[in-house]
């Protein structure tokens, strides 16, 4: 099987969580995993057999070494990694239960990635022989330096002819350096071929509202997607997730892809007994990218991405540690919790 070289760029963090569904106030110990939007995508793609490099900046200490070992454990390339700065970013995650929502507390100010500056990464070397570059709106939210480095990466990826994908992933608690997403993101999104963006984020950050009646969801999605393509002409595919749920233990999940002419709608899955939903959007993006890289048509790639995201809800931690065969089995209706023997 021919492998593609995919590059992702962002911050990987130390995730600390109370055991089970304890609240922060109850916890006497914290469980340790590592994760972050772009590293989650990289690890998922590596599990699918793709050649992928994750670019970030890590402190030159034991925690930085632990992150490198974790990435290598799952088959992600680390040869483009930067070392420097004072600390690894941290986030604390309290799992939701029942009608109580989950909660995240960030501790990533002045992290190695937050203090990155343009010019530190040799993007020409990073993108040599690469085919795809993926980034999220989390990276430019971290700091002005991270935003500038990400913009630099997108420009270089365009220069080298890579396909560029973007997941908006708005995090309101991160944009703290005096800039709004509506000021920072548009010139960066203009360099992207594939955009994952909710209708709410399209309205909030790009001023795009549906022209169709809101009681017709698919028409509204097509309207917003069309306007996004008009605003960002390089974009050839717009993806939107469709998620609903009444509590923390169950969700309905599906997605829609617009290719400029047609809306492709995935199956909608009823997910029950959720183990961990963090990283499910990254799982969807990784599955979609895998499908497109493997020359699946848009409908098949979307189906693969959504099935991958559904499976992520059954796995603790940020990472979607599933195989192509497991995702394909769910796409083909072989779910249901049976034991493989």
Question: Catalytic residue positions?
Answer: 282
Degrees to nearest 5, angle at CA 33 with 290 and 112: 85
Helix spans in the chain (H) = 37-47, 62-73, 123-126, 138-142, 144-159, 181-189, 199-206, 217-231, 280-293, 298-312, 324-331
Alpha carbon distance 208, 79 (integer Å)? 40
Degrees to nearest 5, angle at CA 200 with 195 and 206: 60
Alpha carbon distance 253, 258 (integer Å)? 17
Tell me how far CA of residue 43 lies from CA of 49, 52, 54, 130, in angstroms: 10, 8, 9, 17
Degrees to nearest 5, angle at CA 239 with 235 and 245: 160
- CB-based contacts of 24: which residues, under 8 Å, 6+ apart? 18, 92, 94, 103, 105
The three-state secondary structure class of 77 is: strand
- In the beta sheet, which residues pair with residue 43? none
Residues in the chain: 341
Strand bridging mode 132-136 / 5-9:
parallel
CB 199 within 8 A of CB 237: no
- CB-based contacts of 120: which residues, under 8 Å, 6+ apart? 57, 82, 84, 149
Could you tell me which of 2, 112, 5, 124 has the C-alpha nearest to residue 53? 5
């Amino acid at each position: 099987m021919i492998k593609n070289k995919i590059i992702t760029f962002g911050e990987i963090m130390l995730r600390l969580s109370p055991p089970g569904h304890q609240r922060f106030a109850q916890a006497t110990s914290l469980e340790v995993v590592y994760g972050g939007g772009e590293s989650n995508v990289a690890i998922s793609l590596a599990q699918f057999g793709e050649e992928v490099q994750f670019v970030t900046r890590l402190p030159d200490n034991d925690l930085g070494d632990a992150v490198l070992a974790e990435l290598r454990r799952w088959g992600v390339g680390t040869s483009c990694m930067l070392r420097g700065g004072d600390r690894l970013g941290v986030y604390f995650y309290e799992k939701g239960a029942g009608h109580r929502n989950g909660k995240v507390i960030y501790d990533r100010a002045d992290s190695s990635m937050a203090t990155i500056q343009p010019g530190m990464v040799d993007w020409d070397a990073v993108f040599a022989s690469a085919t795809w570059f993926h980034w999220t709106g989390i990276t430019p939210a971290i700091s002005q330096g991270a935003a500038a480095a990400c913009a630099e990466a997108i420009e270089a990826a365009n220069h080298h002819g890579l396909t560029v994908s973007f997941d908006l992933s708005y995090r309101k608690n991160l944009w703290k350096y005096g800039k709004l997403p509506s000021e920072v993101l548009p010139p960066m999104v203009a360099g992207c071929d594939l955009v994952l963006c909710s209708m709410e984020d399209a309205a909030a950050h790009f001023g795009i509202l549906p022209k169709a009646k809101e009681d017709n969801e698919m028409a509204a999605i097509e309207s917003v997607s069309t306007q996004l393509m008009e605003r960002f002409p390089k974009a050839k595919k717009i993806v939107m997730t469709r998620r609903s749920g009444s509590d923390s233990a169950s969700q309905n999940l599906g997605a829609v892809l617009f290719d400029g002419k047609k809306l492709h709608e995935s199956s909608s899955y009823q997910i029950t007994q959720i183990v961990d939903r963090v990283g499910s959007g990254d799982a969807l993006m990784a599955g979609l990218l895998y499908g497109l890289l493997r020359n699946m048509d848009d409908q098949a790639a979307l189906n693969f991405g959504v099935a991958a995201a559904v499976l992520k809800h059954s796995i603790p931690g940020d990472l979607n540690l599933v195989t192509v065969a497991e995702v394909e089995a769910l796409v083909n209706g072989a779910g249901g919790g049976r034991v493989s023997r």
